[in-house]
Amino acid sequence: MYGLFRSQLPSIVVLASGNGSNFQVLAEKSLSGELKANLKALIVDRNCGAIERANRFGITSIILSKPWYENFERVIDKLNPDLIVLAGFMRIIPEHLVEKYFQKIVNIHPSLLPSFPGKDGIRQAYEYGAKVTGITIHFVDKGVDTGPIIFQKSIEIEDEWSLEMLEEKIHNLEHEYYWRIVNDLLYKQYKIEGRKVTWGV
């Protein structure tokens, strides 16, 4: 019964390039039923820690062959997920693929966009001396961290915090909210008008 039920759920794939802590939370919540989605596969562009996490959960890992973006399109079209979830995927997806899958690709960024886009958003905010930072969950468009914003959560940076402490706080926010927003995208109504994402319409 459990397997039959899961097969009828909407499906997601997760893309990662690193340690995979966000992937692990998504996998845990999927397997517990809190995230009501069938996590079909972990897709990576290199050997990384996320693969080991996927193995522990019995989730299929797919390593993209070169050129990765051609393999990416073939893999996505074969799996045909309802949502493509980027979780530390360190590649810029080509414009034609973004256009093809727009509104199906979401990303989480460790700053309050549009501040501190790109690599090392946490370090950028810390070294800049920002007093407030946070996380942003957004749709992926042809720019770098420029897609329509779905959700943001802020945190005040205390003067005594080290960079490592801030990193831990940001990761905790990611782990708390990303799976919830993924679930909302699968089950709640929303619309995108220009840069604005509006729920419940």
Look up 109 and say whether it is catalytic: yes
Please, are residues 83 and 185 in contact by the beta-carbon 8 Å criterion? yes
User: In 5-25, which positions are buried (b, 16+ CB within 10 angstroms) versus exposed (e)?
Assistant: ebeebebbbbbbbbebbbbbb
* Annotated catalytic residue, options 109, 138, 171, 175: 109
Please, are residues 106 and 83 in contact by the beta-carbon 8 Å criterion? yes
Could you tell me the two tokens for 142? 């042809």
Catalytic residues: 109
